Amino acid sequence: MKTIYLDNNATTRVADEVFDAIRPFFTERYGNPSSMHFFGGSVAREIVNSRENMAKLLGASPQEIVFTSGGTESDSTAILSALSTMPDRREIVTTRVEHPAVLNLCKYLARVKGYTVRWLSVDKLGMLDMDEVKNVITDNTAIVSVMWANNETGVMYPVEEIAKIAAARGALTHTDAVQAVGKIPINLNKTDISFLSLSGHKLHAPKGIGALYIKRGTRFSPFMIGGHQEFSRRGGTENVPGIVGLGQAARLAMKNFEEENTRVKKMRDRLQQGLLERISQARVNGHPGNRLPNTLNIGFEFVEGEAILMKMDEKGICASSGSACTSGSLEPSHVLRAMGVPFTAVHGSIRFSLSRYNTEDEIEFVIEETPRIITTLRAMSPFNLETMKAACVVQ
Ligand SMILES: *Cc1c(COP(=O)(O)O)cnc(C)c1O
């Protein structure tokens, strides 16, 4: 059976070009970039190239890029650095819809370290209230951390505008742009954004590599202290294959950026339209226009998301319910709950996330199969829609 992979916000396949570029760095060019001999030193040159490609994709300069082990490390590094370089400020501003890499770090900082966290709420389309943003950022704010795009719904946030507001208060801004990089244009050089996190494996590079952008002139305190690597901003021998792969992935993302993302968006829109036309009591979660081109989060009322995924799995379709990090528990998604999505739709919400490797035929197959799955599950349900509705009112 063919696999139809529509879970690209969880992870992506490594591009063939990336894989080919990486291979020699395991077996032939395994030198340490810090070595004095040419065998190692020539590898350092490759890191320089990767850093240049990475910077170019972000509209940044190479000195502003630090390679890390991924999105989570970049998030922790940025937020902890801001707190330690601004010890007089004891407040963090963030949103209720962040990835666990930011969300759980902030909860920890509040519970264990005594910081005050100001949680920004979102409306039913997943959008922030900019008046609330303005009011909550004060002279006590060390860092504002707002994701560029949400991994579950694809909703995008006005981080450039938020960074301007924060800068006027002397606060730093961090953005988790793991889902945004490569999907929407980013040009950091004219913004007030101090830190940006990205991850290789969401961008067709391997797992275990990422980067942190640190705006020139931003005071910085490293997370990993050790050797002089990464201009003494991140100690430890470099993950050379990862770094080379991330540089290649950045180069590929820049190639045909517009065409590829337009093609992906067209497939996403077709999937959305096809499913809404064929399935009753289905709704899109998140702002319909202000969304990443590749993401569709759709709630099928009165069905269990896990059951839908199991049925899809039988057809070779990979999607996800809630966020990958909360699946395995029956906890409904914190993002959809923050948006006030009705209980009856939260549990039946499915995220489809596409990439440039998907085809129109695959999308047509999913449009064909999904209505059958939903109908079967609704028929099997011990509740009819009315009793279920009544039960939900009580909860
Ligand atoms: C995947 C993801 C992360 C975590 O990145 P890792 O490289 O897996 O640590 C952080 N934030 C968002 C929005 C993500 O989608």
Q: 333 and 219 in one domain?
A: no
CA–CA separation, 121 vs 177, rounded Å?
19
Q: 250 and 141 in one domain?
A: yes
Q: Do the beta carbons of residue 272 and residue 284 sit within 8 Å? A: yes
The 3 state secondary structure assigned to 138-190 is CCCEEEEECCCECCCCCEECCHHHHHHHHHHCCCEEEEECCCCECCECCCHHH
Tokens for 59, please give them: 């509209």
pLDDT of residue 325: 44
**Position in ligand 1 atom list of the atom nearest CA 210:** 7
Beta-sheet pairing, 141-145 with 116-120: unpaired
Of 377, 391, 279, 311, the closest CA to residue 344 belongs to: 391
What's the gap in Å between 10 CA and the centre of ligand 1? Answer: 8
Domain edge (last residue) among 206, 226, 255? 255
Let me know if residue 52 belongs to a domain: yes
Q: 221 and 292 in one domain?
A: no
Instruction: Give nearest CA residue, ligand 1 atom 3.
Output: 71
Total structural domains within the chain: 2
Q: 209 and 69 in one domain?
A: yes
**Position in ligand 1 atom list of the atom nearest CA 149:** 13
- CATH code, domain with 100: 3.40.640.10
Strands in 282-284's sheet, in edge-to-edge order, are 282-284, 295-300, 349-353
- In the annotation, is 325 catalytic? yes
Q: Which of 11, 67, 68, 72 to mutate to test the pocket of ligand 1 (most atoms within 8 A of CB)?
A: 72
Let me know if residue 277 belongs to a domain: yes
Name residues whose C-beta falls within 8 Å of residue 219's C-beta, 6 or more positions apart in sequence: 81, 85, 86
What is the amino acid identity at position 159?
Answer: V
Q: 233 and 327 in one domain?
A: no
Q: Do the beta carbons of residue 238 and residue 272 sit within 8 Å? A: no
Instruction: Give nearest CA residue, ligand 1 atom 10.
Output: 71
Q: Which of 69, 99, 104, 145 to mutate to test the pocket of ligand 1 (most atoms within 8 A of CB)?
A: 99
Of 91, 19, 90, the closest CA to residue 241 belongs to: 19
**Position in ligand 1 atom list of the atom nearest CA 72:** 9
Residues with CB under 6 A from ligand 1: 70-72, 99, 101, 147, 151, 176, 178-179, 199, 201-202, 210
Domain edge (last residue) among 255, 284, 305? 255
pLDDT of residue 385: 57
Q: 300 and 352 in one domain?
A: yes
Let me know if residue 321 belongs to a domain: yes
Count of CB atoms within 10 A of residue 116's CB?
Answer: 12
Instruction: Give nearest CA residue, ligand 1 atom 4.
Output: 71
- CATH code, domain with 335: 3.90.1150.10
Domain edge (last residue) among 227, 255, 283? 255
Let me know if residue 394 belongs to a domain: no
Q: 278 and 248 in one domain?
A: no
pLDDT of residue 324: 43
Beta strands (DSSP E) in the chain are 4-5, 65-68, 91-95, 116-120, 141-145, 172-176, 195-199, 210-214, 282-284, 295-300, 317-318, 349-353
Q: 263 and 248 in one domain?
A: no
Let me know if residue 193 belongs to a domain: yes
Q: 283 and 204 in one domain?
A: no
pLDDT of residue 395: 44
Bridge partners (DSSP) listed for residue 156: 149
- Segments in the chain below pLDDT 50: 323-326, 394-395
Let me know if residue 393 belongs to a domain: no
What's the gap in Å between 70 CA and the centre of ligand 1? Answer: 7
pLDDT of residue 332: 85
**Burial of residue 100 (number of CB atoms within 10 Å: 0-12, 13-18, 19+):** middle
CA–CA separation, 275 vs 298, rounded Å?
9
Q: 102 and 196 in one domain?
A: yes
Q: Do the beta carbons of residue 294 and residue 354 sit within 8 Å? A: yes
What is the domain range of residue 350? Answer: 4-11+257-388
Q: 266 and 247 in one domain?
A: no
What's the gap in Å between 372 CA and the centre of ligand 1? Answer: 33
Q: How many residues does the chain have?
A: 395
Let me know if residue 395 belongs to a domain: no
Q: 353 and 364 in one domain?
A: yes
Instruction: Give nearest CA residue, ligand 1 atom 14.
Output: 178
Classified as helix, coil or strand, 64 is helix
